Chains A and B, each alone.
Chain A
Amino acid sequence: TQLLEQSPQFLSIQEGENLTVYCNSSSVFSSLQWYRQEPGEGPVLLVTVVTGGEVKKLKRLTFQFGDARKDSSLHITAAQPGDTGLYLCAGAPGNNDMRFGAGTRLTVKP
């Protein structure tokens, strides 16, 4: 079992739709990171959330860290084909080794 469970595993939507993807764990994290990996490229860091309940916005992307610092969500408003990619969450439970989720593979169709 993964320490970080990401859902859904796959998501295919039309351009303009909204979506939310999730990253859940039973462990507490001092911080969580979200990455996006586009086809043929390496993962690119999008955001780090640190404080329980924190909300960060990055244009059409909204990241939330759960109050208990065990989970996080990523909401995309009005998705565009350029949002297509693999979204990975990562975190170090209790300041131990960094762990990665298996990712949500998003496809946005024009």
Chain B
Amino acid sequence: NAGVMQNPRHLVRRRGQEARLRCSPMKGHSHVYWYRQLPEEGLKFMVYLQKENIIDESGMPKERFSAEFPKEGPSILRIQQVVRGDSAAYFCASSPRGREETQYFGPGTRLLVL
């Protein structure tokens, strides 16, 4: 299965801890997108990355959140000092080329902050 992979599928953290969410795009895809989804709501764009570059982070909170997509390895969404309001499902998507192309989604990581 060469689909988008995310891990972990479920993550529980206590307030103040760090959360690291990983995303491996589909084979051949070099564009990665992170979205956040609260229960019963739609997808909210967070950040768009290409290999080693952040292209658009306009949807990401300026504090505590960061993202990277290194030359080797998965894309990482990092949330420092988590708070209860960070509890949500975080989805990664990838596309082969630009942002105008169809995006393929991973199964998501469900973060619960206690």
| Total cross-chain contacts (CB, 8 A) | 49
State the main secondary structure of chain A at its contact with B: strand
In the bound assembly, the distance between CA atoms of A90 and B45 in angstroms comes to 12
Is residue A45 within 8 Å, beta carbon to beta carbon, of the partner chain? yes
Q: Cβ of A43: which chain B residues have Cβ within 8 Å of it?
A: 43, 91, 105
Q: Cβ of A105: which chain B residues have Cβ within 8 Å of it?
A: 40
Q: Cβ of A11: which chain B residues have Cβ within 8 Å of it?
A: none
- When C-beta atoms are compared, the residue in chain B nearest to A96 turns out to be B100
Q: Cβ of A45: which chain B residues have Cβ within 8 Å of it?
A: 102, 104-105
- When C-beta atoms are compared, the residue in chain A nearest to B110 turns out to be A40
- CB of B108 within 8 A of CB of A41, answer yes
- When C-beta atoms are compared, the residue in chain B nearest to A31 turns out to be B102
- CB of B99 within 8 A of CB of A92, answer yes
Question: Which residues of B from 11 to 69 have beta carbons under 8 Å from A?
Answer: 40-43, 45, 56
Q: Cβ of A102: which chain B residues have Cβ within 8 Å of it?
A: 41-42
- CB of B101 within 8 A of CB of A98, answer yes
**If A43-B91, A92-B100 touch, does A101 touch B42 (CB 8 Å cutoff)?**
yes
Question: Which residues of A from 77 to 110 have beta carbons under 8 Å from B?
Answer: 86, 88, 90, 92, 95-98, 100-103, 105
Q: Cβ of B104: which chain A residues have Cβ within 8 Å of it?
A: 45
Partner of A42, one of B42, B95, B107: B107
Interface size on B, residues (CB 8 A): 21
- CB of B103 within 8 A of CB of A98, answer yes
In the bound assembly, the distance between CA atoms of A88 and B23 in angstroms comes to 22
Taking the closest CB of chain A, its distance from the CB of B47, in whole angstroms, is 13
Is residue A48 within 8 Å, beta carbon to beta carbon, of the partner chain? yes
- When C-beta atoms are compared, the residue in chain A nearest to B100 turns out to be A92
In the bound assembly, the distance between CA atoms of A30 and B101 in angstroms comes to 10
Q: Cβ of A31: which chain B residues have Cβ within 8 Å of it?
A: 102
In the bound assembly, the distance between CA atoms of A96 and B56 in angstroms comes to 13
Taking the closest CB of chain A, its distance from the CB of B8, in whole angstroms, is 14
Q: Cβ of B106: which chain A residues have Cβ within 8 Å of it?
A: 42
Q: Cβ of A92: which chain B residues have Cβ within 8 Å of it?
A: 99-101
